Structure 1
Amino acid sequence: MTSTDLKKHREILFSKFPPGQVPEAADDLKRLEEVEVAARTEKRAVGVTYELQQHTLEELEGHLEDKGYHLDNTLMSKLTRALIHYVEDTQLHNLGAPEKRLKRSADEAYVKAWEHRPHGDHDDTPPEWREYK
């Protein structure tokens, strides 16, 4: 993953009511460190640019909601936000994941534990009865 993959440019959309939220929300977000903010009043949106390792869209939206701002709650906006939250969480998770497996014995431990656990894969029927014809 390159550093350009971690620099995010997003828009946070606001609901129609109460009016006038965009300039206030932009001013509020400008107080946060390492977030570039641009008010887009004609779109009822605030453009934000941030490094994924410093902030997430979910965090920024939560900050605004805690301050009393009302985000756009149309179905399309909710789906878009949910997808972005998932993608960013996955990217952050993958940043912490090792590139390759270090030990092969981890799989073997699970196999051995599974063999000792009672489950439906064992047939108690004697072999001579299974081959009866």
Structure 2
Amino acid sequence: MMPRETAYRLAGRKHRSHDADAEDLLCSHELRLDSAHGEQAAKALTLLQCVPGLAVSLSEHPESLHLRYSLAEHSLEEIESLLVEAGFVLDHSLYAKALRMLTHFCEETRLRNMQAPQRLIKQSNTVYIEAWRHHPHGDHDDTPAELRADR
């Protein structure tokens, strides 16, 4: 069996660096705080503005913050845990929870995909064509010509 590295090389796999483009890692999210616990948005804005690499502004929705950051530096889960440790209460509505969980999943998946090697998709036939081309016997059939004609 052919080693995976050989197959990738024969198929012309492009090796990408582990450092992704800056545009691929930019995130922009809205974080909702619980409105039943008073004016939290302004206090949270003051706290989060001290975090380097994180751009925070008040959102148009009440008790919401608009976050912009690079996934290489921060994640929404990390920012949420920072706020919860500081005593802020996040919005616990079903919509807000589902949106946060989906965002956590998407960010984890994006990071995992950036670290994974590029997969061979729609190029697998090229691997076998190139491997057979370099095979010492080529496409030679050892059966005598008179026996091949009878088939």
Q: Same fold (TM over 0.5)?
A: yes
Of 98, 104, 118, the match for 1:79? 98
**Structure 1 residue 40, shift from structure 2 partner:** 2.9
Aligned Cα root-mean-square deviation (Å): 1.7
In structure 2, the residue corresponding to 1:9 is in which secondary structure? strand
- C-alpha offsets along residues 29-70 of structure 1, whole Å, 9 cap, x if unaligned? 011110001023752101110001100011101110110100
Offset at residue 2 of structure 1 (A): 4.4
Q: CA deviation at 1:94?
A: 1.1
1:15 to 31, 34, 50: 34
Counterpart of 2:113 in structure 1 is 94
Find out whether 1:31 has 2:50 as its counterpart: yes
Q: Is the 8 A contact 1:34 1:50 kept in 2?
A: yes
Structure with larger Rg: 2
Unaligned runs of 5+ in 1: 102-133
Residue 17 of structure 1 and its aligned partner are, at CA, apart by 2.1
Paired position in structure 2 for 1:107: none
Runs (5+) with no aligned partner, structure 2: 1-19, 121-151
Q: Which moved more, 1:91-100 or 1:17-26?
A: 91-100
**% same residue:** 29
Select the structure with the greater relative contact order (CA < 8 A; seq sep ≥ 6): 2
The number of aligned residues is 101
Q: Which of these residues, 66, 69, 78, is aligned with residue 50 of structure 1?
A: 69
Q: Distance in 2 between matches of 1:42 and 1:77?
A: 13
2:26–2:69 CA contact under 8 A, matched in 1:
yes
Q: Specify the code of the residue in structure 1 equivalent to 2:88.
A: Y
